[in-house]
Structure 1
Amino acid sequence: MTLIAFVRGDITEEPVDAVVNAANSSLLGGGGVDGAIHRKGGPEILSACRDLRASHYGRGLPTGQAVATTAGRLPARWVVHTVGPVWRAGEDRSELLASCYRESLCVADELGAATVAFPAISTGVYGWPIDDGARIAVQTVRAASTSVTEVRFVLFDDVAYEAFTAYG
């Protein structure tokens, strides 16, 4: 069984096997969690992402999929990059959001990661309502078949922390 923990803090400081990056499809960095991971992790992460773009993901990483790179200078061993969906009123894209969590755990299993830290995927600039994003995240991780022993949801502010712990 996977232990689920909720942490109010900075995901780039989590001493886990794998940190999940809410990446954009280019894999080349951006704002929010993506920018923070690239800045703190250093050029090794960007270099590994460029290699992925040159080999397997020339058009970028598709929404809902996940791929791993080195964690560079982060305390984690790996970064699992996943592209969350942009929220759209009147269009149910919840399966794509759930896929981000499932696919990230599959990649973590392939790496042999025991501990994984997730941000609140798609709830920032991609506009997903935090309460719904929290519900999907926690339910998906609870239902996942994984060898990961601990999942930490690392939440940047009190609003996100409260939304996630409501489903804990």
Structure 2
Amino acid sequence: MLTPKQIGIINFGLSILLAVIVISSYFTIQDLVRKEGGECPLGKECPVHEAFPIQTIIGLLVVSALAITGLMLIVQPETKFRIPQFGERRKSEFDIMLSALSSDEQKVLRILKEQPGTPQNTLRLKTDFSKSKLSMLLKDLETRGLVKKEAEGKTFRVYLKK
């Protein structure tokens, strides 16, 4: 994919090429008129001779717009911003982290994100996991540094680590 700077260089190059074509065609027509004694070879009411200065002005305006756009793209500072494609959603750090985990681990972490400090017995009911499965899952997540458990009576409150 082309960067904005590369597009600006191409745009500016095309504007120079078009400027040369517009100006050379203007002088070619003027030269033909001079060779015929100052009058248009097609007669007094020559549509090309009358309209050509307007066409030249319009052509030069288009060339100027292209050149200015190209220069703006060339001079524009580089940014790290990337425009998302259609339908693409920017993922949060949390979503990226979840993509590396199993579906059971994702389920637990999503609940903890919605309700920080959820008691372990409430977490068991929300996930519908057995006591031993949830206990092993939390122990694994704790050793990886993703959650922390704080004792509260006979149970634990579980938090996401930041």
Q: TM-score, normalised by structure 1?
A: 0.23
Structure with the larger helix share: 2
Structure possessing the higher radius of gyration over alpha carbons:
2
Name the structure with the higher strand share: 1
